[in-house]
Amino acid sequence: MKKTLKQSLKAIAIELPIYAVFVTVYILVVLKFLGQPLSDWFKSDRRLYAAVGVGLIIGQGFMLELATRVMGRHLKKQRPLK
């Protein structure tokens, strides 16, 4: 197997469980703190509900991108130079 492919698979194997933890925690936090307000907004003001939903999606994407960059830098530092 090529060296770059091995490195890519190793990075994915490391990142995937970390992403799973991040997404699980995110869902639990949103449900705990915003579950009832989101339900109320869905029933009373769908525009506010949609705006908050889009904001949550963008925020989650931003945080996962940030996590990817941090992990990528960390994994690059661990690779031995030849």
**21-41 tens-digit pLDDT:** 988 998 899 989 999 999 999
Residue whose token pair is 């990075």:
11
Q: Is 82 helix (H, G, I), strand (E, B) or coil?
A: coil
Q: What is the pTM of this model?
A: 0.70
CA dist 52 and 15 (Å) reads 28
Report the phi/psi class of residue 12: left, alpha or beta, with left for phi > 0 and alpha for psi in -120 to 50.
alpha
Domain ranges of the chain: 3-76
Please give the structure tokens belonging to residue 80.
């031995």
Residue 71, CA atoms < 13 Å, CB-side half-sphere: 17
pLDDT, average across residues 34-54: 94
In what helix (H) or strand (E) does residue 56 lie, and over which residues does it extend?
helix 46-78
Q: What is the DSSP letter of 45?
A: -
pLDDT for the residue numbered 19? 86
